[in-house]
Every structure is written in C-alpha cells, then in structure tokens.
Amino acid sequence: MTGSTREQKLYCWDCLLFGADSGSWARDGYSDLGSLSKSAHRHQNGSGHLRATIRLKTFGDTRIELQLDEQQHRDVIAHNEKVKRNRGILKRLINCVVYFGKQELPF
C-alpha cells in the first residue's frame, strides 16, 4: 500500500504498477478511511490484485533475450508450417501438369 499526500488518497502499489483494471485502489485512489480495513481485505483477495502481485513478483525473472528467442522460435515454426503447406499445394499442381503431359491432354 502506498499513498499520495497531495491527493490524500491511498493506492495499492502492486495494482498501481501492474494492474490492468482501473479500480479505486489502482487509478482513482482510495479515500474512505472509515471502511479501510474491510475494503483493503476485499481488494487483497480480488483476482485483479492477485494478478498484479504475481506480475510484480515475477517481474525481471525472465530475461528479454529469452522471450525474444522464444518469439523468434514460434515465428520460425509458423513460417515452416506455411512453407510445408505451400509445398503440398505446389506438389499437387505439378502432379496435375505431369498427368496432363503423360495423357497428352490440354489444360
């Protein structure tokens, strides 16, 4: 938890940095101190907060070079699948041309 003295509001540090939703703890700030404990407990068990906490805890664990290598590997696999499919199509066309040639048939 963190706060802003200028705005007099509290924020959730994890959600502020890595939260995807724009709840009061992440973007708008929380200012109702009367129900702070209940609201903080509810926020702490929310799925958005848990996702943000996991992102914060795992931030920096994976090196960017490894992620780029993984993406490049996926691109190579996709390219190879496309080439394999196109070769299959070309092979069928060549077989048709050979068949027409052997049978002396026009296109």
Q: Which residues sit at the interface with Zn ion, rule CB under 5 A?
A: 12, 14-15, 49
> CB-wise, 58 or 80, nearer to Zn ion?
58
DSSP secondary structure string for all residues of 7-69:
TTEEE-HHHHHH--S--IIIII-B--GGGHHHHHHHHHTSHHHHHHHHHHHHTTTS-HHHHHH
> CB-wise, 55 or 77, nearer to Zn ion?
55
Q: How far is the CB of 4 from Zn ion (least distance, A)?
A: 15
> CB-wise, 41 or 91, nearer to Zn ion?
41
Q: How far is the CB of 59 from Zn ion (least distance, A)?
A: 15
- Measured distance between the N- and C-terminal CA atoms of the chain, rounded to whole angstroms: 75
Q: How far is the CB of 13 from Zn ion (least distance, A)?
A: 8
